[in-house]
Amino acid sequence: MTPIRLHNTKTRRKELFTPLNADNVRVYVCGPTVYDRAHLGNARPVIVFDMLFRMLRHVYGATHVTYARNLTDVDDKINARAAETGRDIRAITDETIAWYHADMAALGNLKPTHEPRATDWIGAMKDMIARLIASGHAYAAEGHVLFSVASYAEYGALSGRSVEDMLAGARVEVAPYKRDPMDFVLWKPSSGNEPGWDSDWGFGRPGWHIECSAMSYELLTESFDIHGGGIDLQFPHHENEIAQSACAHPHGKFAQVWMHNEMLQVEGRKMSKSLGNFFTVRDLLDQGVPGEVIRFVMLSTHYSKPMDWTERKRAEAEATLRKWRGLIAGADVSEDVSEDVVAALADDLNTPLAITRLHAMATQLAASGGKNCHFEARVFLASARMMGLLTDELGDWMSKQDDAVSAEVSARIDALIAARRAARADKDFAEADRLRAILDGAGVVVIDRPDETSWSAGPGFDAGKLEP
């Protein structure tokens, strides 16, 4: 069996992964709060942990991996959206969940085994809160139930920070009903128009953190293998999940391995509405950026590094996928996946290395000019598909684009690129630059690599500007 190594945030080391039960490897990932379209950053953990799911399925067998990712459908941001729009909460969350499913499928992600909705598991949350009160880890006060952070000595172990440091860095709410400012809410009262449920502590609703502890317990038991999420969730959300679960089920281990993805930026800057560089996955898809291209760009950066979304990366990914899809046209898929690709993925999800290895296979395939390469094409295809690339479902973008860029226009672009290459070979750099400016002006994205030049039609492409 392929050895798997994963960087564990909790121990701050890369460790050999040994599942608690190889017949049922269990993964929990924090999912979205459903009140609006997923932005491009929200797609990153989905793609990262989809890749983990796929790799584990490959190694342990597809039926031996259980992946749970929750849907937070009770939250103050949702209540605020309902108040703003005058719409029903359930209408908002149902609509947002349907969008989320469509958008994540368009990026080639598999459906998790379980997608628990928080509002379906209120009973399990109340049970866990009752256990925490009974064991002295939580207390009720003024319609609230609070977790007593001082009752759990290991609080902060995941982020490796002291309670004092965390307190200094966080916006903890000081409230009269808290014994200690660090204490966090397990249950809070709801007023008339807020969603709520009856409980021993009055009519109210759960705090945010308890849902992940309760639902992972119900679906994966008190000890499971991997817990994932964005690095922004490490504190307080994940520290609080650990505290709740460890205290409610002291004999359990909760999650053995913690994995955190870094954040996504756009052209080197934080994505934010005020900087005007904020966009949703749907915005990109509607602009004609194929889901497969978005996935490829995301996988090109290791999950532990900040990922920068750039127009150049988009264009390069599109050109690469166009070439790869050309290479596998007509090939059927083999059972065998390249061991080199699997080994890269098993090494802490090294997706950039896996892509480099796919590039090497593609180069070899192209060099053999289609001769005697039937086997290689099949293995190449199987390996790419293991990463959720070159699948049939994600493949219709090329024909759509080909319809937009006619064969005649495409030939004109090829001719301009060939002329530019000839000019460079003759050291006529003025002419090469002039031809390049024509291509740029028409919105053709030219990608120069040492061995070849490729292109894609960028946003605002205008064939009318292609005259030499």
232 binds ligand AMP (CB under 6 A): yes
Candidate segments 171-179, 226-234, 297-305, 377-385, binder of ligand AMP by CB under 6 A: 226-234
Contact present, 53 and 27 (Cβ < 8 Å): yes
Give the integer Cα–Cα distance in Å for 21 and 199.
Answer: 36
Among 30, 158, 242, 354, binds ligand AMP (CB under 6 A): 30
Strand partners, 206: 187
β-strands 65-69, 25-29 pairing: parallel
Strand partners, 16: 5
Give the integer Cα–Cα distance in Å for 298 and 228.
Answer: 17
271 binds ligand AMP (CB under 6 A): yes
Give the integer Cα–Cα distance in Å for 5 and 442.
Answer: 47
Please say which residue, 33 or 338, places its beta carbon nearer to ligand AMP. 33
Strand partners, 260: 229
Query: What's the min distance (Å) between Cβ of 238 and Zn ion?
Result: 7
Size of the site for ligand AMP (CB under 6 A): 14
Among 229, 236, 290, 388, binds ligand AMP (CB under 6 A): 229
52 binds ligand AMP (CB under 6 A): no
Candidate segments 38-46, 80-88, 154-162, 315-323, binder of ligand AMP by CB under 6 A: 38-46
Please say which residue, 30 or 74, places its beta carbon nearer to ligand AMP. 30
Among 7, 10, 26, 44, binds ligand AMP (CB under 6 A): 44
Give the integer Cα–Cα distance in Å for 243 and 389.
Answer: 39
45 binds ligand AMP (CB under 6 A): yes
User: Among Zn ion, ligand AMP, none, what binds residue 212 when CB lies within 5 to 8 Å by partner kind?
Assistant: Zn ion
Tell me how far CA of residue 161 lies from CA of 109, 158, 246, 310, in angstroms: 34, 8, 18, 34
Query: What's the min distance (Å) between Cβ of 169 and ligand AMP?
Result: 17
Among 105, 140, 263, 409, binds ligand AMP (CB under 6 A): 263
Give residues 233-252 in contact with ligand AMP (rule: CB under 6 A): 233
Burial of 407-423, coded b for 16+ CB within 10 Å and e otherwise, reads: eebeebbeebbebbeeb
* CB-neighbour burial class of residue 200 (10 A; exposed 0-12, middle 13-18, buried 19+): exposed
Contact present, 69 and 112 (Cβ < 8 Å): yes
Closest residue to bound ligand AMP by CB: 230
- Reported as half-sphere exposure (CB side, CA atoms, 13 A), residue 78 has a value of 25
Among 32, 116, 204, 207, binds ligand AMP (CB under 6 A): 32
Please say which residue, 118 or 446, places its beta carbon nearer to ligand AMP. 118
Contact present, 41 and 284 (Cβ < 8 Å): no
Please say which residue, 271 or 366, places its beta carbon nearer to ligand AMP. 271
Query: What's the min distance (Å) between Cβ of 229 and ligand AMP?
Result: 5
Contact present, 414 and 78 (Cβ < 8 Å): no
Contact residues: Zn ion, CB under 5 A: 30, 212
Q: Which residues bind ligand AMP (CB under 6 A)?
A: 30, 32-33, 41-42, 44-45, 229-230, 232-233, 263-264, 271
